[in-house]
Homo-oligomer: A and B are copies of this chain.
Amino acid sequence: MKNIITLILFLTTFFSAFAAKVDTLEIRSIAMDKTYKAAVVLPNSYTKSKANYPVVYLLHGAYGHFRDWLKSTPNKMLVHDLADQYNIIFVMPEGENFSFYLDSPVNKESQFETYITKEVIQKIDKTYRTIAKKNGRVITGLSMGGHGALYLSTRHPELFAGAGSMSGAVDMGGIRNRDTPEKINKLMEPVFGPEGASQEVYDSHAVIGMINKIKANNIELIIDCGVDDFLIEPNRELHRRMVYAKVNHDYTERPGAHTWEYWENALLYHVLFFDKIFKKNGTAVK
Contact = CB atoms under 8 A, between A and B. Distances in A.
Contacts of A179: none
A254 B253 contact: no
Given A212-B199, A268-B272, A244 B250 contact: no
Interface in A50-88: none
Contacts of A276: 265, 268
Given A199-B212, A212-B199, A272-B272, A251 B248 contact: no
A261 to B, nearest CB: 12
Nearest to A203: B212
A200 B212 contact: yes
B243 A227 contact: yes
How many copies of this protein are present in the complex? 4
A249 interface: yes
A45 to B, nearest CB: 17
Nearest to A265: B276
Contacts of A282: none
A163 to B, nearest CB: 15
23 contacts: A199-B212, A200-B212, A203-B212, A227-B243, A233-B244, A237-B240, A237-B244, A239-B253, A240-B240, A241-B241, A243-B253, A249-B254, A249-B255, A250-B252, A250-B254, A250-B255, A251-B252, A251-B253, A252-B252, A265-B276, A268-B272, A268-B276, A269-B272
Given A268-B272, A269-B272, 15 more contacts: A199-B212, A203-B212, A237-B241, A237-B244, A239-B253, A240-B240, A241-B241, A248-B255, A249-B254, A249-B255, A250-B253, A250-B255, A251-B252, A268-B276, A269-B269
